[in-house]
Amino acid sequence: MRIASIDIGTNTILLLVAEAEQGTLGTVIHDQQVIARLGKGVDAERMIGRETFLRAEGFLRSYRETCDALKVDRICAVGTSALRDAKNREEFCRHIAETTGIGIEILSGEDEALWTYRGGISEFAGRSERFSVIDIGGGSTEIIVGTGSGIEEKSSIDIGAVRLTERILRDSPPELPAIIEAHEFIRSLMPPLTAHVASTFAVGVAGTVTTLASLHQRLPSYQPEKVSGYSLSYEDVCAMFGMLKDKSVPQIAAFPQISAGRADIILAGIMVLMGYMEACSLKNITVSDRGLRYGIALREAERIG
Distance CA 100, CA 124 (A): 35
Nearest to 162 by CA among 54, 266, 288: 266
| Residues 172 and 242 reside in one and the same domain | yes
Task: Give a yes or no: residue 20 inside a domain.
Answer: yes
Model pLDDT, residue 193: 82
Model pLDDT, residue 11: 78
| Residues 19 and 77 reside in one and the same domain | yes
| Residues 16 and 145 reside in one and the same domain | no
Model pLDDT, residue 255: 95
Distance CA 17, CA 255 (A): 29
Distance CA 14, CA 207 (A): 11
| Residues 194 and 274 reside in one and the same domain | yes
Model pLDDT, residue 102: 95
| Residues 190 and 276 reside in one and the same domain | yes
- CA 184 from chain centre, in angstroms, equals 22
| Residue 69, amino acid | A
CB-based contacts of 102: which residues, under 8 Å, 6+ apart? 6, 60, 63, 64, 75, 77, 96
Three-state SS at 289: coil
Indicate which CATH number applies to the domain containing 81. 3.30.420.40
The full length of the chain comes to 305
Distance CA 114, CA 261 (A): 28
**Cβ 274 vs Cβ 232: under 8 Å:** no
Tens-place pLDDT, residues 234-270 = 999 999 999 999 999 999 999 999 987 899 999 999 9
| Residues 79 and 135 reside in one and the same domain | no
Task: Give a yes or no: residue 253 inside a domain.
Answer: yes
Task: Give a yes or no: residue 143 inside a domain.
Answer: yes
CA distances from 173 to 110, 176, 258, 268 (A): 35, 9, 16, 11
**Cβ 117 vs Cβ 81: under 8 Å:** no
| Residues 78 and 139 reside in one and the same domain | no
Nearest to 81 by CA among 141, 164, 134: 141
Task: Give a yes or no: residue 33 inside a domain.
Answer: yes
Task: Give a yes or no: residue 181 inside a domain.
Answer: yes
Task: Give a yes or no: residue 63 inside a domain.
Answer: yes
The low-confidence residues of the chain, meaning pLDDT below 70, are: 39-44, 305
Total domains present in the chain? 2
Task: Give a yes or no: residue 300 inside a domain.
Answer: no
Distance CA 151, CA 113 (A): 9
Provide the whole-model pTM: 0.85
Model pLDDT, residue 39: 66
**Cβ 85 vs Cβ 264: under 8 Å:** no
Distance CA 192, CA 188 (A): 11
Task: Give a yes or no: residue 295 inside a domain.
Answer: no
| Residues 206 and 273 reside in one and the same domain | yes
| Residues 229 and 151 reside in one and the same domain | yes
- Per DSSP bridges, beta strands 231-233 and 284-287 are antiparallel
**Cβ 113 vs Cβ 144: under 8 Å:** yes
Its domain, for residue 151, covers 126-287
| Residues 92 and 130 reside in one and the same domain | no
CB-based contacts of 300: which residues, under 8 Å, 6+ apart? 3, 5, 20, 74, 76
| Boundary of a domain, candidates 50, 84, 109 | 109
| Residues 166 and 259 reside in one and the same domain | yes
Indicate which CATH number applies to the domain containing 162. 3.30.420.150
| Residues 191 and 236 reside in one and the same domain | yes
Model pLDDT, residue 294: 92
Q: 22 — alpha (psi -120 to 50), left (phi > 0) or beta?
A: left
| Boundary of a domain, candidates 58, 76, 109 | 109
